[in-house]
Chain A
Amino acid sequence: AQKITQTQPGMFVQEKEAVTLDCTYDTSDPSYGLFWYKQPSSGEMIFLIYQGSYDQQNATEGRYSLNFQKARKSANLVISASQLGDSAMYFCAMRERSNYKLTFGKGTLLTVNP
């Protein structure tokens, strides 16, 4: 069964607007962490933001914020004020405490239009 589901293969957004990238997850482990990575065409994986399952507040890092809805098992990434350089693949990933490995979703290709 898929542990991480990203239902949007591709998304388009106008420069300076906000965009939400969806991620849902499945786990029975009460302790886990959720990660978002950006992968530009160069191929490197750039860490963006982390949310722990016990964190009381949604994580934020600059223009990135994570809309964490634990009961719904969703961890959507919100990018505010999109920039052309935000065009890339975005991967959601989860690591369970019982299993110290990252499991990745299939990714969402974000294109920012001028």
Chain B
Amino acid sequence: SAVISQKPSRDICQRGTSLTIQCQVDSQVTMMFWYRQQPGQSLTLIATANQGSEATYESGFVIDKFPISRPNLTFSTLTVSNMSPEDSSIYLCSGDRGTNNEQFFGPGTRLTVL
């Protein structure tokens, strides 16, 4: 399986600021995804990061709030914009090779917004 790294691993931010999370995969993947896990909750898909084009967002998530880039097959960023305390969550990057049985996750970024 591939290895995914994320930066930063955690951060504490002030309300109204923005944070960009980086995700690096050690080998090429077909698809990359960004998930949010609010405290005590399950994972919710934010968007599918598409190489060289706009991400595909799930219902309830918009590009202005969560801009995503994927300039190549192994790297993606998620920005959480104009943060509020409700954005305090773990944000996880995930990669998929396109085969049936491989979808793996990065270690997550634990974000706290004050």
Contact = CB atoms under 8 A, between A and B. Distances in A.
A45 B108 contact: yes
Contacts of B103: 35, 47, 95, 102
Interface stretch (B16-24, B41-49, B68-76, B80-88): B41-49
Contacts of A95: 103
A91 interface: yes
A90 to B, nearest CB: 11
A30 to B, nearest CB: 14
Contacts of A106: 41-42
B105 interface: yes
A43 B96 contact: no
B42 A107 contact: yes
A44 B95 CA distance: 14
Secondary structure of the B contact surface, majority rule: strand
Nearest to A105: B42
B1 interface: yes
A102 B45 contact: yes
Contacts of B31: 100
A23 B107 CA distance: 24
B7 interface: no
A60 to B, nearest CB: 14
Interface string B27-49: 00001010001000111110010
A101 interface: yes
B104 A47 contact: yes
Q: Looking at B33, B100, B106, which has the most chain A CB atoms within 10 Å of its CB?
A: B100
Given A43-B90, A45-B92, A101-B33, A91 B108 contact: no
Contacts of A105: 42
B93 to A, nearest CB: 10
8 contacts: A43-B110, A44-B105, A45-B43, A45-B94, A50-B100, A95-B103, A102-B103, A104-B42
Interface of A: 33, 35, 37, 42-47, 50, 52, 91, 95, 100-102, 104-107
Q: Which 5 A-B pairs have the closest CB atoms?
A: A45-B105, A50-B101, A43-B108, A44-B107, A104-B42
